Every structure is written in C-alpha cells, then in structure tokens.
Structure 1
Amino acid sequence: MSENKLICIVDDDASVRDSLSLVLGLKGYDCRTYESAESFLSSLPNRPACIILDLKMTGMSGLELQNRLLSQKVPVQIIFLTAFADVQVMREAFLGNAVDFLEKPFVLEQLLESINRSLHNLSATTETIQHNQKLSLLTPREKEVFDVLALGKSHREIGELLKISPRTVEVHKGRVLEKLGIKTLADILRIAIKT
C-alpha cells in the first residue's frame, strides 16, 4: 500500500463512514473511520492523509477541525461532505485550503477525482517536507552555498560573494550534495524551487 493512500473518514453518520470505507477499501485505499472530530484529533495519523470530512457534526464542526489542523500544520488535504451547502461556509472551507466541497448525495466519480487530486497534493507536500528536513541538516555556510548555487553562480563567483576560496566552495558543495542525498546541480535547483 502506498504511503500516500491513507483516507480518513470523519463523519458522525455510521452509514456514511461504513459505506465510504467499504467502497474506498475496494479501490485500494487504506481507510480509517472516526465518528467525530475529537476522536480524529485524539488519534492523528502519523503520515499525511486525505480527510473526507462532514461539515456539521455534534461537538466540533468540520470547519473547526480544519482550522485546528491548519494551526498545527498537520499535513492533510480535506474534502468536505455536507447536506447543508452555503456559499459563505464553502468560501471559508476553500480559504482553509479545502480540496473540494461535495453536497450529499454525491457522485462517487466526483469524490474519487477529489481524492486523486488531494493525494497528488499530498505527494508534493510530503516531498517539500522531506527537502526541508534535509536542508535543516546544512550548516549556515553550507546553506549559503546551496542558496547561491541555486542562483546559477560559478564557484569563483560564490567565493567572491561569500569571501571564501573557490576550493572551499567546492568542499561545501560536496557536503551539501552528500547531506541532501543528491548528485547534481540540477538536483540542487529542483530542491530550491520546491522549498
């Protein structure tokens, strides 16, 4: 099972949770169900997830859960389901980076498209998080060299800019490549663009 195929279904209606879990499980997704926002928060998944979230639940609402997850910087993508669509609420959900807002009853194909879009977004988010973790391993000087290499400067130009020799630039570049687990300047550019 792919690390990015986790689907969390948060809905206070057991029939919605069970039917979605069954259908999505048959499609190859790893599904976890939660009867409330509070139960989801008490057992947050340890990996990025797509959340299919009911808007109106007893206790904490779907929007309140979305705001809590945003403030905690939890890597999730949210698809809202509701029987009570309202433009103002939809606007608030999208301002909080919701992937989609589907009205019950919904068309399964539309939900699957939204899930695929959210999983694609999670892949990009996960890659950025991994790059940032690796970048945090660099010393301040190595980070400076990384930043200037990403601008396309030569070793000589970097040396002049940072007031170090081109040979020292080369040593720092070697450490940057090693710590980031990459091999080429193209890899440096790719990481710099994504972070």
Structure 2
Amino acid sequence: MHARATVHIVDDDDSVRRALGRILTAHGHMVSTFGSAQAFLEEADLDAGPACVLLDLMMPGMDGLMLQRVLQRRVPVIFLSGHGDVTRAVQAMQAGAIEFLEKPVSDTDLLAAVEKGCVCAADLFARERELRILREKIDRLTPREREVLTWVVTGIRNKQVASELGTVEKTIKVHRAHVMQKLEVDSLPALVRIADRMGLCAARREPPWPRPGPRMG
C-alpha cells in the first residue's frame, strides 16, 4: 500500500470531510481536509511529498472542475460528488481525473479509488523529483557544453560536431568529457537518455557530402 501519499479532501460539507477522513485514516492514509478550493490552494503544500486530491464537484466559489484546471495535472484527482452527471464526469475524466465517484460511495469503492490515486501520486512525485534533479545537473553546464551535448547525442562523430560548431575535434572531446562529468554519466547511451528526458537534441542538417546517386540497372 502506498499509504505515505497524503490524501487532500476538498469538500464544503464539514460532515462529509469528517466521515471521509475517518475512513481513510482508519486504513492508514495521511489526510488533510479543506472546506473550499481556495483554502486548499492557499494552505496545501504540494511540493512536500506525493499527494492526491479527493475533490467535491459542486462547491461555492471555485468548483471542483475549476480547481482541477488550476492544478494542471500536478496531482491525481478523484472526484466525489452527489451532483454528478454524464457531461461533468466526461469533462473531469478528459481533464485527467483518475476516478469519478458519486455520493453515497461505498467504503470499498472509495478505498480502491484512493489507493489508485496514491499509487499515481507516488509515481508522479518520483518522476517530478527525477526531472528536478536532471534540471539541476543540466544547469551546471556552460552554454557551450550544453550545445555540445545536444549534438553529441544525435550520434554523429566528434569531428562532425566540431564542424557544426566551428571548432576543432580536440575541443569537442574536452567539452564532451566535462558534460559527462557534470551529468554524472559514463556512457553515450546514458547521455542520450538524459537528453531525451529533457528534450535536448539538435536538429540534424543535411550532410555536406553528396549522396550516392541511384544505381543504373
């Protein structure tokens, strides 16, 4: 069980928040509750660790769908509403909600949805943490080293990279060594994986040498 993900309950009905909180706490989940979308945005720390949101659809002021749009898929969202209809359910799911439950919901369905949300939350938080670490490593590179990285991962030789960048092969080798050291990798495939994750890849130009013509039969 991924119980260490916090479940944020956002519902304007105090009795619903208490009931949901009791059930989830009894099954080992960490829970925080908010009476409005605005309170959640002002008080919840979404960077503290993995989290999912158990979100009421109809609330005064900012409703559930509006809050979902503000969150922009930063955390998994589970909708729980007594006012659900097909149109709103479709909107919620298209916007990335992982479940849409209608009140009253059984403990079994609630816990299954929250468990799914916690698993998604843990995976999402791990990916975001990995990307944050990679961004920090990329930021260590000088502009020239970053440029060399984008060309090296295309698979062309150091001599060709030097030609593209208007320098000599020896200089490219030095930059390449610095890049690998700063990114803490020891192989080209590892560099390629990082560049792919971070969207760093130079656009290959057509080679300056002529292509072979068609064979004459």
Contact 1:50 1:119 in 2 (8 A): no
Q: Name whichever of 74-83 and 139-148 sits farther off.
A: 74-83
Q: Which secondary structure does the structure 1 equivalent of 2:44 belong to?
A: coil
Structure 2 contact 99–113 (Cα < 8 Å) conserved: no
Matched with 1:36 is 36
Identity of aligned residues (%): 34
The residue that corresponds to 1:69 in the other structure is 71
CA distance in structure 2 between the partners assigned to 1:60 and 1:29 by the alignment: 26
Q: What is the match of residue 114 of structure 1?
A: 117
Within a 5 Å distance, the mapping from 1:1-195 to structure 2 comes to: 5-47=5-47, 49-70=51-72, 75-104=74-103, 105-106=105-106, 107=109, 108-195=111-198
The whole-number CA distance in structure 2 between the counterparts of 1:9 and 1:171 is: 53
> Does the Cα contact within 8 Å between 1:11 and 1:54 map onto a contact in 2?
yes
Q: Identify unmatched segments of 5+ residues in structure 2.
A: 199-217
Q: Per the alignment, do residues 34 and 62 of structure 1 end up closer, same or farther by CA in structure 2, a change over 3 Å counting? A: same
User: Residue type of the partner of 2:8?
Assistant: C
Structure 1 residues 97 and 18: CA distance shift in structure 2, 3 A: same
- Structure exhibiting the larger radius of gyration computed from Cα positions: 2
Shift in Å at residue 129 of structure 1? 3.6
Alpha carbons of structure 1 residues 28 and 154: separation in structure 2 relative to 1, 3 Å: farther
Distance between the aligned counterparts of 1:113 and 1:30, measured in 2?
15
Structure 1 residue 126: Cα displacement? 3.3
Label 1:194 to 1:101 Cα distance change in 2 as closer, same or farther (>3 A).
Answer: farther
1:134-175 superposed Cα distances (whole Å, 9 cap, x missing partner): 324433222222222222233223222222223222222233
The answer (yes or no) to whether the contact 2:158–2:172 under 8 Å persists in 1 is yes
Q: Structure 1 residues 33 and 174 mapped into 2: Cα distance closer, same or farther (>3 Å)? A: farther
- Secondary structure (helix, strand or coil) at the match of 2:155 reads coil
Distance 2:127 2:192 in 1: 16
Cα offset, 1:23, TM superposition: 4.1
CA-atom RMSD in angstroms: 2.7
Q: CA deviation at 1:36?
A: 1.0
Distance 1:116 1:146 in 2: 34
Higher mean alpha-carbon deviation, 177-186 vs 54-63, is at 177-186
Provide the rounded CA distance (Å) in 1 between the counterparts of 2:28 and 2:145: 43
Aligned residues of 2:140 and 2:182 also touching (Cα < 8 A) = yes
* 1:155–1:169 contact (8 Å) kept in structure 2: yes
Structure 1 runs not aligned, ≥5 long: none
Q: Residues 60 and 145 (structure 1 numbering): CA distance in 2 closer, same or farther, change over 3 Å?
A: same
Q: How far does residue 45 in structure 1 lie from its aligned partner after superposition?
A: 0.6
Task: Return the alpha-carbon distance in structure 1 between the equivalents of residues 189 and 63 of structure 2.
Answer: 45
| Cα deviations by residue, 1:23-61 (Å, 9 ceiling, x for unpaired) | 444555433221111111112315153222111122210
Instruction: Report the alpha carbon displacement of residue 67 of structure 1 after superposing the two structures with TM.
Output: 1.9
In structure 1, how many angstroms separate the alpha carbons of the residues matched to 2:152 and 2:142? 15
Whether contact under 8 Å (1:138, 1:179) holds in the other structure is yes
